[in-house]
Amino acid sequence: MKKIELPVELPKIPPHGRPTVNYENDWSELTYALLVSRLRDIGIEHDASFGSTLFDTAQTGSGKGHIVELGTFSGWGSIHLAAGSKSRNREKVFTIDNYACDWHPFYNETPFWGYGLMAAVKCKMNFKMLGLSDWINMICCSTVDAAEVMDLPVRVLVIDASHDYISVVSDIFSWCPKVIPGGILIIHDWSFPDVRKAMTEYIQDSDEWSDITEISNMVATAVKL
């Protein structure tokens, strides 16, 4: 049988024709504005209220503890958290997703987002492209199961997994006790009725949380007492 010779150097094809970037040298200089421009360079859309809240809290939030995001999807939130934290050489990010999502398949057509397990693949590629793979631990698991085995202090908790009432309440009960005093809870899709109801009952009306702030109709934050 004829032996097939491979070319000595295989051509390097950037994923989906996206540019390959290397931001390794200037993390300490990173500001939110600079991150936004880097993301624009590679076609990632901007959401000022959510993005700046994640970045600023990860960068300058008080206390020592882990950063945990419930709901990774294609990594948009994790990127903002990790970039803020990495720019100050602070804690790495744990982001949890079971990738059992039923999001629309058309997400696969975009360079950044994906659908189902393809979201996990694109997520890893997005982290690598932005030089953030070393700052993000992806955990493929249900948020509640992860809470049972992850016994750690949390200084930033982002709740953005399933948005039905029972799921949000389960995430609150599983994860909020791990948040340290002074730690920050960030809630996405705050305008969804089930999310708002769960948060109002268990965060706003709780003695353990203060400074509930509605950043926009999509984002709210609270501080653990």
- Report 101-130 residues binding ligand SAM (CB under 6 A): 101
Q: For tokens 């249900």, name the residue.
A: 142
Report the residue from 162, 176, 190, 222 that binds ligand SAM according to the rule CB under 6 A: 162
Q: For tokens 């006790």, name the residue.
A: 177
Name residue 210's beta-bridge partners: 223
In the complex, minimum distance from the CB of residue 75 to ligand SAM, in angstroms, rounded to a whole number:
6
51 is a contact residue toward ligand SAM (CB under 6 A) = no
Dist CA 67 CA 165 (whole Å) = 23
Residue among 182 and 192 whose Cβ is closer to ligand SAM: 192
Residue 95 token pair: 């982001």
In the complex, minimum distance from the CB of residue 95 to ligand SAM, in angstroms, rounded to a whole number:
8
Asked if residues 87 and 55 have their Cβ atoms less than 8 Å apart, the reply is no
Closest CA to 104 of 72, 73, 59: 73
In the complex, minimum distance from the CB of residue 36 to ligand SAM, in angstroms, rounded to a whole number:
15
In the complex, minimum distance from the CB of residue 161 to ligand SAM, in angstroms, rounded to a whole number:
4
76 is a contact residue toward ligand SAM (CB under 6 A) = yes
3-state secondary structure 75-110: CHHHHHHHHHHHHCCCCCEEEEECCCCCCCHHHHHC
**Residue 209 is inside which H or E element, if any?**
strand 209-214
82 is a contact residue toward ligand SAM (CB under 6 A) = no
Residue among 82 and 161 whose Cβ is closer to ligand SAM: 161
Q: Judged by CB under 6 A, which stretch of 11-19, 155-163, 199-207, 214-222 contacts ligand SAM? A: 155-163
Coil, helix or strand for 11? coil
Report the residue from 126, 142, 174, 221 that binds ligand SAM according to the rule CB under 6 A: 142
Asked if residues 68 and 174 have their Cβ atoms less than 8 Å apart, the reply is no
Residue among 76 and 175 whose Cβ is closer to ligand SAM: 76
Residue among 30 and 158 whose Cβ is closer to ligand SAM: 158
Q: For tokens 């700052």, name the residue.
A: 135
Report the residue from 32, 115, 129, 160 that binds ligand SAM according to the rule CB under 6 A: 160
Under the rule (CB under 6 A), what is the footprint of ligand SAM?
A: 71-74, 76-77, 96-101, 142-143, 160-162, 167
